[in-house]
Chains A and B, each alone.
Chain A
Amino acid sequence: DVKVTQSSRYLVKRTGEKVFLECVQDMDHENMFWYRQDPGLGLRLIYFSYDVKMKEKGDIPEGYSVSREKKERFSLILESASTNQTSMYLCASRSPREGRNTQYFGPGTRLTVL
């Protein structure tokens, strides 16, 4: 089974702090994604990465950056956290080689910014 893990289930940070959210997948997937989930808004794509060192902006990249130095790891960075970034963050991965277009999700990190 594909396993996508996220470094923390719950995180509390203060406004202005730099925050790192880590995501690791163990299935050699090329593509990785970061979403945020908010009530009434569903999931919105922040950034995605086709492969190592590659990144593309999603629909709501403002206030975020990402890093993909190794294939299995995709990091989401909040350079200066703000209260409107309080949310559930979900990481996902997929492989175009599978041909089934299925994204596999991690358990999520619930971030609270005070």
Chain B
Amino acid sequence: GNSVTQMEGPVTLSEEAFLTINCTYTATGYPSLFWYVQYPGEGLQLLLKATKADDKGSNKGFEATYRKETTSFHLEKGSVQVSDSAVYFCALLYGGATNKLIFGTGTLLAVQP
């Protein structure tokens, strides 16, 4: 079946460090892939997305590339800030009429000054 696996947290980094959060997926066909972010006390917000192989989604300095050959969609940022501290969820959308999102378990990122 369809599933998403992302690295367990928490990930603790110092400000300005490089961030990678790994995400791999299993799906039939060609799903769309998403990263959502949840700041403390808030709901989820879409961070970025990619709808086909080799697409790169980017937003707020974060990037992720849809890699079909490795079934991955790793999230990266070159220089994290304290304000990036949040829980990050990788998700895939599988399709047809259902359009349901399947989420990974979430990765907590804590950035220290």
Contacts and interface: CB of A to CB of B under 8 A. Distances in A.
Interface of A: 4, 31, 33, 35, 40-45, 48, 56, 58, 90, 92, 94, 96, 100-108
A41 B105 contact: yes
Nearest to A58: B100
Contacts of B42: 107-108
Sorting the interface of chain B by its residue count into under 10, 10 to 19, 20 to 34 or 35 or more gives 20 to 34
A108 to B, nearest CB: 5
A42 B103 contact: yes
Do most interface residues of chain A lie in helix, strand or loop, or is the interface mixed? Answer: strand
Given A31-B99, A42-B105, A45-B101, 7 more contacts: A43-B89, A92-B44, A101-B49, A102-B34, A104-B46, A105-B45, A107-B43
B32 interface: yes
A69 to B, nearest CB: 22
A43 B88 CA distance: 12
Contacts of A48: 100
Contacts of B99: 31, 94, 96, 101
Do most interface residues of chain B lie in helix, strand or loop, or is the interface mixed? Answer: strand
B53 interface: no
A106 B49 CA distance: 19
Contacts of B4: 42
Contacts of A107: 41-43
B32 A101 contact: yes
Given A40-B105, A41-B105, A105 B100 contact: no
Contact of A90 (B43, B100, B105): B43
B38 to A, nearest CB: 8
A30 to B, nearest CB: 11
B62 to A, nearest CB: 16
